Amino acid sequence: MKSTLNNLLCLIAVLSFSSCLKLEQEWFDQVVPETFFKSEKDVKAALYRPFTHARWYMGEDRWNLQEYPADQFAISTKGRHWYNGGENERFHYHRWTQDDGWIWGTWRGTLMGVALALDTKQDLERVDYESLALTQADKDDHLSQLNALIAFFYMRGLDYFGGMPIFESLDQEALPRNTDQETFDHIERLLIEAIEKLPSKVAGEKEEGAMKKAAAAALLARLYFNAEAYTGQNRFAEAEELCRDIIDQKYGVYSLDATWYGPHSFTNDSSPEIIWSIPSEFNYLQYDWFFNFFYHYNTVKYFDIDGGPWNGAHLTPSLKPDGSPYSTDFKLGSPFEKFDDGDLRKKPYVYHGNGRYEGMFLVGNHTTPAGEQIVGGEEYNGQPLVFVDQVARFSEVGPGKRYSSINDLPSKMSEGEENTGVRLVKVPIPNNADQSLRWGADNPVIRLAEIYYMLAECRLRAGDPEEAAHLINQVRVRNFEGTDPNPATAANLDEYRMLDEWGIEFLGEGRRRTDLIRWNKFTTERWWDHEPTSDHLKRFPIPTQAISGNNNLHQNPGYN
């Protein structure tokens, strides 16, 4: 179809910032959105395409930029593996450049998301819904979802880069960047319009990936919640009002899940806590990027599945090589030790069959649930594989070796081993007997727990730590079989405890950098093998590939 092909060519132009070509073959003129869409199925197929991109967008490069420059995750060099040309160290030490692939992938992926949603929106605006036995309310719903999705992509771009080029049509090309405030205002307008027309979730309704009224309201709350970092304006009061309305079910019926695993399990589409998630089905939309990066090669025996992991990422260490805690040196980091010992999530991950599992970490001696010892294949080849909450070359300690004692061991990004670091299992992995469940858990984008924590932080900032603690404890209570041994209180809840609570509840959910920036900790604090850096690093540079294709783009301050 002429319209769609032209839009797709413009999409390529958005990504490469080259000219938008026009194809004028006459035969395309007879196939346009008004005639191409023959049924509701056609409409929904078009609507779902940009949401598929959103699922991809939530992982890989975007996740990397949120977590690896922050205090909770690292990809240490493990002997001959994972130096990767220094890429992992550059992000850990805040030494990235405008030529780094993660940055280009994120810039490109952000504008690709905008382009796909805008393309679909322009097509659906021209469709006669009544001729397809659909209503004006259906059309308003679909267009409002696309507006909210465009706002979502632009808000992520604003978070990563600052002001973005604002496209209202795919016929535009080589646009300059709008200001931070203009980008903020565009996002705000799209979300306010979406909230007005999107339907509300009703009690008992499953979350199938569609954006409803509460999702748009939650995104607007996020925008106001981080407005000070984005534009220098304090909008916490507006974020608080939206959070209260969501909790009070003004935008639909949601409630906190009774269990910690409910929002992440194989059936999390039924969790009352999920405000917006994106489906992830076996061999379709997978969490395999997460699986590949985190787990040891031989962990497939523990999971009782086929191969695939690359043994890369792990939590930053809580302990020094000599076993003493880093918490005496740094207030940030040490994510595993921030979990109380009685926390049900701190148990080792074990799959019990039929979709049942417990815990979310791989730590300690690695034996299968049946008791088989798993051995290493590198530094500990043929020896028991024991995951440690430390980073150091313990295999090189002893007579005739590189280090005479553990006290001599350095702990830094270059000193990992195959068993270095605790591994997170946030996405449950079934065994081969239940392979049909694999990647069946949907990807939660917004959970009601986030709304409680946003409201708690707003109250803390407003000088009401008592209500803030009460809100946090309503989420914490489900993580213990008995009484919470360390509840938040008005006395212990300060900015660091608030950041700890964010880090514990949302560990591995791709938001840590944003939380640190909001509290002005991202470039000013120390954590494991990391020193304070420059304030301009709160934003990433505009990639060289983007600027080379569009002379109207300007670089962020502080980058050459």
State the amino acid at position 292 in one-letter form. Answer: N
Q: How many CA atoms lie less than 13 Å away from 443 in the CB half-sphere?
A: 26
Residues facing 361 on adjacent strands:
348, 424
Question: Cβ(67)–Cβ(510) under 8 Å?
Answer: yes
Question: Cβ(429)–Cβ(291) under 8 Å?
Answer: yes
Q: Which two tokens stand for residue 378?
A: 């590198």
pLDDT of residue 17: 37
Which residues touch 283 (CB under 8 Å, ≥6 apart)? none
State the amino acid at position 528 in one-letter form. Answer: W
Q: What is the DSSP letter of 412?
A: S
Rounded-to-integer distance, Cα 204 and Cα 208, Å:
12
Question: Cβ(183)–Cβ(121) under 8 Å?
Answer: no
Number of neighbours of residue 462 by Cβ within 10 angstroms = 13
Question: Cβ(168)–Cβ(546) under 8 Å?
Answer: no
Rounded-to-integer distance, Cα 309 and Cα 288, Å:
9
What number of residues does the chain have?
Answer: 560
pLDDT of residue 307: 79
Rounded-to-integer distance, Cα 343 and Cα 363, Å:
15
**Per-residue three-class SS string for 185-207:** HHHHHHHHHHHHHCCCECCCCCC
Question: Cβ(521)–Cβ(229) under 8 Å?
Answer: no
- Widest Cα–Cα separation across the chain: 82
Question: Cβ(212)–Cβ(252) under 8 Å?
Answer: yes
**To 10 degrees, the CA torsion angle through 506, 510, 513, 517?**
-70
Closest by alpha carbon to 508, among 326, 275, 316? 316
Q: What is the DSSP letter of 85?
A: G
**Run means of pLDDT, 10 residues per run, the chain, 560 residues:** 37 40 35 72 94 91 97 97 96 98 98 97 96 96 98 98 95 93 98 98 90 98 98 98 98 98 93 90 54 91 89 97 97 98 97 95 95 96 98 97 97 98 94 85 93 99 98 98 97 98 97 98 98 98 96 94
Q: Which two tokens stand for residue 295?
A: 């787990």
Phi, psi of 423 (to 5 degrees): -110, 135
pLDDT of residue 349: 96
Q: Which two tokens stand for residue 522?
A: 């991202």
Rounded-to-integer distance, Cα 437 and Cα 48, Å:
22
Q: What is the DSSP letter of 406?
A: G
Rounded CA Rg of the chain: 24
First to last CA, the chain: 43
Closest by alpha carbon to 291, among 306, 276, 273, 275? 306
Question: Cβ(274)–Cβ(442) under 8 Å?
Answer: yes
Question: Sign of torsion, CA 120 123 124 125?
Answer: positive
Question: Cβ(114)–Cβ(50) under 8 Å?
Answer: no
Closest by alpha carbon to 542, among 43, 71, 97, 40? 97
3-state secondary structure of 4: helix
Rounded-to-integer distance, Cα 456 and Cα 474, Å:
11
Number of neighbours of residue 329 by Cβ within 10 angstroms = 13
pLDDT of residue 288: 63
Residues facing 362 on adjacent strands:
423
State the amino acid at position 272 in one-letter form. Answer: P
Rounded-to-integer distance, Cα 211 and Cα 338, Å:
33
- Extents of the domains making up the chain: 288-431
Rounded-to-integer distance, Cα 312 and Cα 303, Å:
17
Number of H helices, E strands in the chain: 19, 10
Task: Provide the H-helix boundaries in 70-179.
Answer: 87-92, 101-125, 136-161
Q: What angle do the packed helices 448-461 and 213-225 form, to 10 degrees? A: 30
State the amino acid at position 150 in one-letter form. Answer: I
Burial readout 146-173 (b: 16 or more C-beta within 10 A, e: otherwise): bbbbbbbbbbbbbbbbbbbbbbeebeeb
How far is C-alpha 60 from the chain's CA centre? 9
